[in-house]
Structure 1
Amino acid sequence: MKVERIYRPKFEKVSLERRLETPREASEEMAECIVLRRDNLLLFSEEMLDLARWLTWETQTADVEQEAATGLKYAAKMYAAFFECARESEKTSTFNIYDLPEVNWNGLGLLEQGYINPAEWFDAYFLAVITRDTESMDTLATFPVEIMRQSATTTDDVVYSLVEVFQSYHQREQDFPVKLNKAMKALLADGDDWSLDIGMGYLETFAALTTNAGFDFNQVLAKNLQRQEQYHIRESGPDRAPVCSFIPLQLLGMACMWHDRGNEVIVESDSLPRFLIDGRYFK
């Protein structure tokens, strides 16, 4: 089941190599700069996501795959550490992220700056899923939604409920189906483009993954892959690339979960790199 991307970057205006320069420089500077500023945990996470997303337009060699996977592996740990800082903002926590220097940060000011919000959590959690980083998944699955609600960046109640749905499933709570159904109804009632195209895409695909409601996982995945790309193209406008659509973390994460359960992901798309679904660099 092949799903072709609609958007094509205009590399004749800005070359792919130029697009890759900044995230590659960030990758080289991680060890030096992570000790300078706590917010670099988030900055480097986002740069590594950009690196992996733009690399989907590169010829897929083993070296390219390894570069993308390595960046995502570091990003997952840094994203989780950034959220952990906000759990008890006055507490100083120590983080040892692979071969990077040890750092000690607190979370003072993070809520006031608006960084701790559901949109960031969705990326952080499913990035941990993709990289098979169970430690980061467990940390994020217990992060209090009440703290997110205190952030300067706020959103509709239904978006917080999506976080609760994913956390409920991760923690194997018995009322997970109730929370899932309630959140889906709330998204339909909300009715805006994000709720219908993105939020429902998350939950439809997750329902196909986790329930016996009669959904065909691969068909639902393919449908929402296309729908979400169209949303990001509209949101980005004519002058910006819809970079988030190059690798939709949440849908890719669910494809990884489907694969890891012994099922076949038959959807083929450059937005769902097969080496990430297989988890071959995260064993």
Structure 2
Amino acid sequence: MATVVPRHAISRQDLPDREPSLSEHTRQLLDRIHKAPFALENAMSTALVDAYERAAEDPTATWLESWESWVAAMQCGAAVFAAATTTEPSVQCLIHHEMRTVPAFANPESFVDAGHWTTTFYLAIICRNAERITALCNVPTEKLRESGAVYDEFNYAWIEALKSFWLGRPDFAERLVEAARGTDIGATSVVAQDHLSQIVWPPMDLLRWRATGEHEEFNRSLGEALGAHKAYWTADQGRADSCYGWVALAPLAMACLAHDADFPIDVESEYLPKHLLEGTWAGEFPT
């Protein structure tokens, strides 16, 4: 019998229509990326908001427009790291059905950081784009430190664990243990404890069970991860109204990895849009 984790009630009324898939603001930002690096990061952020907010009206990601929003956010994120690591004057990147010229970043940009890398990695998993996942794995972790953004060390250990898992490196377990230790109480100076226990730790536990092939433990952990996600995003009204809580991005990405490895997923929730989890739209158009 499936475990069902209901999504918390959404009270906001200012939600996007089904069409177009991207807001006008996101489209305007995409028209500027050839000359303004920050426009690319902003386009990623607004496309991701488009995707999250559309999930309120389309919780299973049945609409093609929902898929386009998730893909566009992933493409913008991937373009950020392509522009940050290229040795050429510019890179050609497919973003929202168009090949676009993105100039190489001349200097370290504040948004070429661990947070954007991790989000883009999750999105690439959800969008089933193995080429982009591998390209992200080839971004040196030191490049993320150059951004100047302040992150605890466990974030970098988690990134190395994700890379090692995807690339099949022998140090995966060591990296995962290092990341998990960094979530212990008192081990961090940047992240609040409720965020650590309810948002940061669960995907690490999920990846452990995915790597070891433990189907039952994975499903148990997935149910707990969604419960923790719900608890975090309903702690106050401000969080409950934030679209970032309407989809559990990291647990969804780990569940996609499990689904694609033929794990039976016995947890159902609007926090895990059905057609994203099952990869229904993968292959509908080039991503």
Same fold (TM over 0.5): yes
Q: 2:147 aligns with which of 144, 148, 151?
A: 151
Q: Is the 8 A contact 2:88 2:104 kept in 1?
A: yes
1:122 aligns with 2:121: no
2: CA distance, partners of 1:22 / 1:238: 27
1:259 aligns with 2:272: no
Partner of 2:92: 95
The 3 A distance-change label for structure 1 pair 186 and 96 is closer
- Counterpart amino acid of residue 276 in structure 2: L
SS of alignment partner, residue 193 of structure 1: helix
Report deviation, 1:81: 1.2
SS of alignment partner, residue 91 of structure 2: strand
Normalising to structure 1: TM-score of the pair?
0.86
Q: 1:65 aligns with which of 57, 63, 66?
A: 63
Q: Higher relative CO (CA 8 A, sep ≥ 6), structure 1 or 2?
A: 2
Partner of 1:207: 208
SS of alignment partner, residue 104 of structure 1: strand
SS of alignment partner, residue 97 of structure 1: strand
2: CA distance, partners of 1:38 / 1:245: 28
- Counterpart amino acid of residue 106 in structure 2: L
The 3 A distance-change label for structure 1 pair 220 and 131 is same
Q: How does 1:97-246 map to 2 (within 5 A)?
A: 97=94, 99-111=97-109, 114-189=110-185, 190=187, 192-211=193-212, 216-234=217-235, 237-239=236-238, 241-246=241-246
**Greater share of residues in helix:** 1
Residue by residue over 1:142-192, the C-alpha shift from the partner in whole angstroms, topping out at 9 and shown as x without a partner, is 211111122221111111111111011111111211221222123225263
2: CA distance, partners of 1:110 / 1:69: 31
Q: Is the 8 A contact 1:27 1:71 kept in 2?
A: no
Q: How big is the alpha-carbon RMSD for the aligned residues of Structure 1 and Structure 2?
A: 2.7
1: CA distance, partners of 2:252 / 2:215: 21
1: CA distance, partners of 2:58 / 2:229: 24
The 3 A distance-change label for structure 1 pair 17 and 213 is closer
Residue by residue over 1:198-244, the C-alpha shift from the partner in whole angstroms, topping out at 9 and shown as x without a partner, is 2211211111111257861111111111212322444xx53452322
Partner of 2:250: 250
SS of alignment partner, residue 200 of structure 2: helix
Could you list the runs of 5+ residues in structure 1 that have no partner in the other structure?
none
Q: Is the 8 A contact 1:31 1:100 kept in 2?
A: no
Between the two proteins, the alignment pairs up a number of residues equal to 274
Identity of aligned residues (%): 22
1: CA distance, partners of 2:279 / 2:153: 34
Report deviation, 1:22: 11
2: CA distance, partners of 1:277 / 1:2: 15
Normalising to structure 2: TM-score of the pair?
0.85
Could you list the runs of 5+ residues in structure 2 that have no partner in the other structure?
none
